[in-house]
Amino acid sequence: MSTTTSTQRRFELTRDDKPIAIAALFIVVILIAGTIYTLTRYGSMPLLTPTYLIQQLQIGSYLGIIAAGMMLVILISQIDLSVPWTLAAGAMMATAIGGPWALPMALAVGIIVGVVNGFGVAVLRIPSMIFTLGVNAVMRGLMVAQTGGFAPQTKATDLMRFLAAERTFGIPHAIFVWILISIAMVVLLKKTAFGRSIYAIGNKEAAAYLSGVPTKRVLFIAFILCSTLSSFAGLLLAGYSTKAYQGMGDAYVLPAIAAVVIGGTNILGGRGRYLGTIVGVILIVLLNSVLSIMEMPEAGRQIIYGAVIIAMLLVYGRGEKATS
């Protein structure tokens, strides 16, 4: 009896594991549905080929890097809506300056925006949704002024193309970059005092402050990391497309938030695993790809895309914060 009970407990999913398992199951369903469609329509199964899967991971790597930063601010019960134009500004400034200073410039843009966001939220105590949305509008205005309202004419540097588009052993370097950032995220959240502070603030900021957690400093760092990862992703996207362009980040803010929450991170903060964010990114990328392969009209694609996100959030996205 005791052996049976211990076996059941061993295979019982924890509260944090359930959303990851559900999202993984959705991925399998999406691949099966897409394969059935291509097999009946074209007589082939391209969705199961290594070439297709690697391509989707490459596309997902850019979203995954953005989602990593977004997860940090969501874990502390905040949000960053300045991501779209932080990403675009990082890419546009990197291509504008070019040469060996392209990467430092992109990172500097992210750090500056992160400091501004952190100051507004941690010091001025302005709600992050409002403040970061305002910062996003300011960044948009600055980039339009910088280009005179015209499309940027600058090109990506060799380093940007190397990091984003070139391959080693058939695997795009962008995937390796995402893997390195993912390892750093796991270590940061699970093995450092900063990671423990992130979860403590997300559960209850006042209690974390009274227990000695430097809440303002943690908020600053979280927003700086989020913005820096966004601007770095912009640099990679510019390398992938060979140039930067206005509005290139607009399509990433909602999928980044959705990937984090679909992966099991509580939208109210305080709970979540980075593995879930990775699974959420893969789910969203595959869903978009399969809907495109099915030649779904844009209206239908958006409806199905939104419905799947809402359905998964209804399944497990309404939980309360952890209290311990």
Mean pLDDT of 271-289: 92
Of residues 300 and 37, more confidently modeled = 37
**Fold annotation for 50-316:** ABC transporter involved in vitamin B12 uptake, BtuC (1.10.3470)
Give, in degrees to the nearest 5, the angle at Cα 36 between 33 and 38: 110
pTM of the model: 0.91
Domain ranges of the chain: 50-316
Distances (CA, A) of 79 to 1, 145, 216: 48, 27, 16
Amino acid at 131: F
Q: How far is it, in rounded angstroms, from Cα 177 to Cα 191?
A: 21
Rounded average pLDDT over 223-244: 93
Residue-wise pLDDT tens digits, 61-110: 999 999 999 999 999 999 999 999 999 999 999 988 888 899 999 999 99
323 falls in which pLDDT band (50, 70, 90)? very low
Is the pLDDT at 312 greater than 90? The verdict is no
Distance CA 124, CA 234 (A): 28
Identify the residue whose tokens are 């979280």. 222
Amino acid occupying residue 45: M
Whole-angstrom Cα distance, residue 252 to residue 61? 12
Residue 78 has which token pair? 């905040």
pLDDT higher for 120 or 308? 120
The lowest-confidence range among 111-115, 147-151, 164-168, 284-288 is: 147-151
**What span, in angstroms and rounded, lies between the C-alpha atoms of 244 and 242?**
7
Q: Using the Cα atoms of residue 296, residue 301, residue 305 and residue 311 in order, give the sign of their dihedral.
A: negative
Residue 290 CA to residue 201 CA, distance in Å, equals: 38
User: Would you call 167 helix, strand, or coil by DSSP?
Assistant: strand
Q: What pLDDT, on the 0 to 100 scale, is given for residue 97? A: 87
Q: Hey, what are 47's tokens?
A: 């969705």
- Residues 8-20: pLDDT tens digits? 555 567 777 888 8
Alpha-carbon distance of 310 to 262, in angstroms, equals: 9
What is the per-residue pLDDT for 112?
A: 96
Q: How far apart are CA 127 and CA 145, in angstroms?
A: 27
Q: Average of pLDDT values for 233-245?
A: 90
